[in-house]
A and B are shown apart, each in its own frame.
Chain A
Amino acid sequence: MTTEELKSTLLALLTDVAPDVEPSSVALNADFRDQFDFDSMDQLNFAIAIHKAFNIEIPESDYPKLASLAKCMEYVGNRADKD
């Protein structure tokens, strides 16, 4: 999966969890929480969506590593390689 594919897959998952978020408005480096009031329920739902889409286990302690689009890309990129 290329970086662009990874990014668009993550964006699709994100807007699935938060249909009221405009995909093109998502900044790469800003935390979801600061960008659009992502709350802990959104965060958990997003982690579940990533788990399902990429088939990776995500322990609770790793949730902060999914706080922004860039962090997600790094986390999923690394994890998907190893798993």
Chain B
Amino acid sequence: MPSLGADMEFGTVVEWKIKLGDVVKRGDVVAVVETDKGAIDVECFESGAVEKLVAQPGERVAVGGVLALLSGRESSSPSPLMGEGRGEGGQLYAEQATEPLSPVLPHKGGGGQETIARVKISPAARAHAQKLHVALDALQGTGPGGVITLQDVERASNGASLLREESQREGGKVSAAADEALLSPSLPQKGGGGRASMTDTMRSVIATAMARSKREIPHYYLSLDVDYSATLAWLAKRNAELPIEQRMLPVAPLLRAIVLGLQAFPDFNGYYADSAFHPSQAIHLGVAIAQRGGGLIAPALLDAQGKTLSQLTEQLRDLVNRVRAGRLKNRELSDGTVTLTSLGEGGVDAVFPVIYPPQVAIIGAGTIRERAVVIDGKIEARPIMTLTLAADHRVSNGRSGARLLARIRDFLQTPDTL
């Protein structure tokens, strides 16, 4: 069971994507594991033939626990036959990969394209089904593409009668009141409701990580107002010429500027462990994303260092889509080297963020808002975004932090350099 962050202790096997005798390669997605952060695709760290699936679906496994046994992991032509290469059975270990994994490839085992169909279900519905002890394979998904929704879970459980009545009365439309009380994954928990478990678990996960951060990391904070007018003008011009699929959000130039800034100031990218800072060549830029229902998650844009603006935009879109669908990969949760938290849509001017351990820095972005600034002795209205930095004083100091923020600002104000 891989660790998907310092705050994870257990994971529950939801589904195996492999079966006995399959040949798996390093980087293949082998299982789906349910964690406090949603369902995660677990990639294999070894290659070999599947000899035994130790953990059964539904089983809760501690981090570091054995999920499955592989045989002949070093063999270049692994045999799907059981027993071959027995004795050197490699285990799917929890260790974090120390070198980049190969990209995730579609599973192509000895059995051709014979993959097990995934149960499509929203994260909230999955949590609810577990709470109500509703078996997923017994559910009929009525959502888009056959996705099992909260309503389907409700329907399958004993609590379905109320909804069914409501549903009939409203001519097929469940009333808004029933939604709020029972169904909508979008509303905050209203106490006593049926969905307490998911939000509460995530709350306690966040609490553990943030308390550890504040206990162990000597934070210092810096803030810098960035005139965003050049960036916005450049963006508007660019977007006007592009088809809608390629249009960019204002966060994209910020992502790129941060990557470029971090390359110049490596003291903010990496992790702190065993009383030492371990800088990272790769920039796995975590992006804090609020989940409907009150959760918060900061999966990483892996290897953001080599990506163009367009690639980062596409990568962010993909990441957000998979957060919404509850389909993240383990490395995205475990390998972040720095984080961006953008509260731009929350309407606040600045955010003073808490570092996500073992990272050593987090950058905050506030709302882009017109403010009065003095330019050449005159007061002008300009779109301003306040950029903040919280960094680990064991690793860096305010002077280099200030230079990092200034560098990010300079990149943002000359968008052609991004």
Cβ–Cβ < 8 Å partners of A79 in chain B: none
Contact B293 A24 (CB under 8 A): no
> For the side of the interface on A, what is the size category?
20 to 34
B-facing residues in A39-78 (Cβ within 8 Å): 39-42, 44-45, 47-48, 51, 57-60
Contact B244 A48 (CB under 8 A): yes
- A5 interfacial contact with B, CB 8 Å: no
- B31 interfacial contact with A, CB 8 Å: no
Cβ–Cβ < 8 Å partners of B179 in chain A: 22, 24-25
Residue of B nearest to A19 (CB): B325
A60-B144 contact in complex given A20-B122, A20-B185, A24-B173, C-beta closer than 8 Å: no
Cβ–Cβ < 8 Å partners of A59 in chain B: 240
B168 to chain A, nearest CB (A): 13
> For the side of the interface on B, what is the size category?
35 or more
- A27 interfacial contact with B, CB 8 Å: yes
Contact B183 A22 (CB under 8 A): yes
Contact A22 B144 (CB under 8 A): no
Contact B143 A19 (CB under 8 A): yes
Against B, the Cβ 8 Å flags (1 = close, 0 = not) of A14-32 are 0111111111110100000
Residue of A nearest to B183 (CB): A22
Contact B293 A20 (CB under 8 A): yes
Contact for A22 among B151, B291, B317, B321, CB less than 8 A: B151
Contact for A27 among B176, B236, B239, B244, CB less than 8 A: B176
Q: Complex Cα distance A58/B247, Å? A: 11
Against A, the Cβ 8 Å flags (1 = close, 0 = not) of B225-264 are 0000000000010011000110101110000000000000
- B184 interfacial contact with A, CB 8 Å: yes
Most chain B beta-carbon neighbours within 10 Å: one of A19, A22, A27, A39:
A19
Q: Complex Cα distance A8/B324, Å? A: 21
Cβ–Cβ < 8 Å partners of A20 in chain B: 122-124, 185-186, 291-293, 324-326
Cβ–Cβ < 8 Å partners of B184 in chain A: 21-22, 25, 36
Most chain A beta-carbon neighbours within 10 Å: one of B173, B240, B345:
B345
Contact A48 B245 (CB under 8 A): yes
Contact for A25 among B186, B290, B291, B326, CB less than 8 A: B186
- Number of residue pairs spanning A and B whose beta carbons lie under 8 angstroms apart: 96
- B316 interfacial contact with A, CB 8 Å: yes
Contact for B244 among A35, A36, A47, CB less than 8 A: A47
B131 to chain A, nearest CB (A): 17
Chain B interface helix/strand/loop/mixed: helix
A46 to chain B, nearest CB (A): 11
Cβ–Cβ < 8 Å partners of A35 in chain B: 186
- B147 interfacial contact with A, CB 8 Å: yes
Residue of B nearest to A16 (CB): B144
Cβ–Cβ < 8 Å partners of B124 in chain A: 20
A22-B150 contact in complex given A35-B186, A41-B249, C-beta closer than 8 Å: yes
- A37 interfacial contact with B, CB 8 Å: yes
- A12 interfacial contact with B, CB 8 Å: yes
Contact B292 A21 (CB under 8 A): yes
B129 to chain A, nearest CB (A): 14
A-facing residues in B329-359 (Cβ within 8 Å): 345
Against A, the Cβ 8 Å flags (1 = close, 0 = not) of B174-204 are 1010011001111100000000000000000
B303 to chain A, nearest CB (A): 20
Contact B186 A36 (CB under 8 A): yes
A19-B173 contact in complex given A40-B249, A44-B249, A60-B240, C-beta closer than 8 Å: no
Contact for A24 among B151, B250, B320, B345, CB less than 8 A: B151
Contact A44 B325 (CB under 8 A): no
A3 to chain B, nearest CB (A): 15
Cβ–Cβ < 8 Å partners of A40 in chain B: 249-251, 345
23 contacts between A and B (CB under 8 A): A16-B145, A18-B292, A19-B324, A20-B123, A20-B293, A20-B326, A22-B150, A22-B151, A22-B179, A22-B183, A24-B151, A25-B183, A25-B186, A36-B186, A36-B292, A40-B250, A40-B345, A41-B249, A41-B320, A42-B320, A44-B244, A59-B240, A60-B239
Question: What 6 A-B pairs come out closest when comparing CB atoms?
Answer: A36-B186, A25-B179, A25-B184, A24-B174, A41-B320, A15-B144
